[in-house]
Amino acid sequence: MQKAKKGAREKMAAPIHGNMDRMILENLPILPRSMTFSKMLEMDKASASLRNKWPWFFPPLCARKNQATLSDVEKARYICAFNMINNDGTLGHLVDLHAGAYGQHGNLLLLPWHRMFLLLFEAALHNYHPDVCIPYWDWNEEQYFPDWLAGILPTVHTPTRTINVIRSPGMGSWLAGTVSGTPSALAQTNYNSFSGPINGIHGGVHMWVGGTMSDAGVSPADPVFWLHHANLDRLWWQWYNSPAGGHQNPIIAGQILPWTYTEPDTRNIISLGYKYV
Ligand SMILES: [Cu+2]
């Protein structure tokens, strides 16, 4: 009984994960990267049985944690990996990619597009530290700017520009008002009526942080961009799995540009290799 159950789970998980790894790498052609030996084996179909044989050898799901609960070491790792991918040019590429007009804001595409965008960023962080996962900033609970990032104001060189990150967070009461519609968004029973208010809250938090974050042409240069979007992504996953969300997906045809991903690729965060804890 125990044995059969275990076998079934592995059979389900392995191929999905393998395909997604391949897709992530295919969609990262411009970014410098390295690959761990376990990742290499994981991607090789002929080595699939090794995953079952030596599960301890393969990395577990990336656990994205609440930023307020991170240890000093975890905070330092995020900042360090962020600085490394800034120095190697990856972050600049991602900023320019985000500035491209892919219609990923103010509509149904917001959540799926940024889910994949965060995944590329996280994969880049893993080149420097395999234990770093994107923390999330739960602005319904922490209605102030995450203090450990307050002094982190990087200069980011994109292929075309130099960005000096600035910000000017507002009062807590302003942020509280901005995000107060979250419970009612989570209570919506179809994707469009969930996505609408979430788009508004998304933009409101960008404006509240201010400076670089208030301009979609440069916002991913601010390290808090990723924590903000991880929280939106987490709320989406929470809604999707709730009775109100009922596992509904947005209706988006074709490729999610500029990538080869399609909407079904964006549905399951476990298949994508991460979870929220
Ligand atoms: Cu964006």
Would you state the pLDDT for residue 204? 98
pLDDT tens, position by position, 103-126: 899 999 999 999 999 999 998 998
Report CA(111)–ligand 1 centroid distance (Å). 9
Phi/psi for 133 (5° steps) reads -125, 155
Tokens of 198: 């979430």
Task: Read off the pLDDT band of 85 (50, 70, 90).
Answer: very high
186 CA to centre of ligand 1 in angstroms: 21
The CATH number given to 63-276 is: 1.10.1280.10
Q: Report the separation in Å between the CA atom of 103 and the middle of ligand 1, taken as the mean of its atom positions.
A: 10
- The pLDDT-based confidence of 18 (bands split at 50, 70, 90) is low
CA of 98 to the centre of ligand 1 (A): 6
Residues in a beta bridge with 274: 62
Provide Rg for the chain, Cα atoms.
Answer: 19
Query: What pLDDT, in 10s, does the model give residues 140-196?
Result: 999 999 999 999 999 999 989 999 999 999 999 999 999 999 999 999 999 999 999
What pLDDT sits at residue 198?
A: 97
216 pLDDT more than 60: yes
Whether the pLDDT of residue 28 is over 80: the answer is no
The answer to whether the bond into 220 is cis (omega within 30° of 0) is no
DSSP E strands: which ranges in the chain? 62-64, 155-157, 162-164, 274-276
Q: Quote the pLDDT of residue 44.
A: 62
Vertex 35: Cα angle to 162 and 126 (nearest 5): 55
Residue 2 has pLDDT above 70, yes or no: no
Long-range contacts of 165-169 (CB under 8 A, 24+ apart): 165/211, 165/212, 165/221, 165/222, 166/211, 166/212, 167/209, 167/210, 167/211, 167/212, 167/213, 167/222, 167/224, 168/209, 168/210, 168/211, 169/144, 169/145, 169/208, 169/209, 169/210
What pLDDT, on a 0 to 100 scale, did the predictor assign at position 101? 81
Tell me the CA–centroid distance for residue 75 and ligand 1, in Å: 23
**Stretch among 30-39, 61-70, 249-258, 259-268 having the lowest mean pLDDT:** 30-39
Residue 38's pLDDT band, with cuts at 50, 70 and 90, is: low
Domain layout of the chain by residue ranges: 1-59, 63-276
How close is the Cα of 19 to the center of ligand 1, in Å? 26
Q: What is the pLDDT of residue 21?
A: 61
pLDDT in tens, 95-104: 999 998 888 9
| Per-residue pLDDT tens digits for 154-166 | 999 998 999 999 9
Angstrom CA distances, 181 to 10, 110, 128, 195, 242, stand at 40, 18, 38, 12, 17
Mean pLDDT of the chain: 86
- Calculate what percentage of the chain has a pLDDT beyond 70: 80
Determine the pLDDT at residue 260: 84
Classify 19 as helix, strand or coil: helix
User: What percentage of residues in the chain have a pLDDT greater than 90?
Assistant: 67
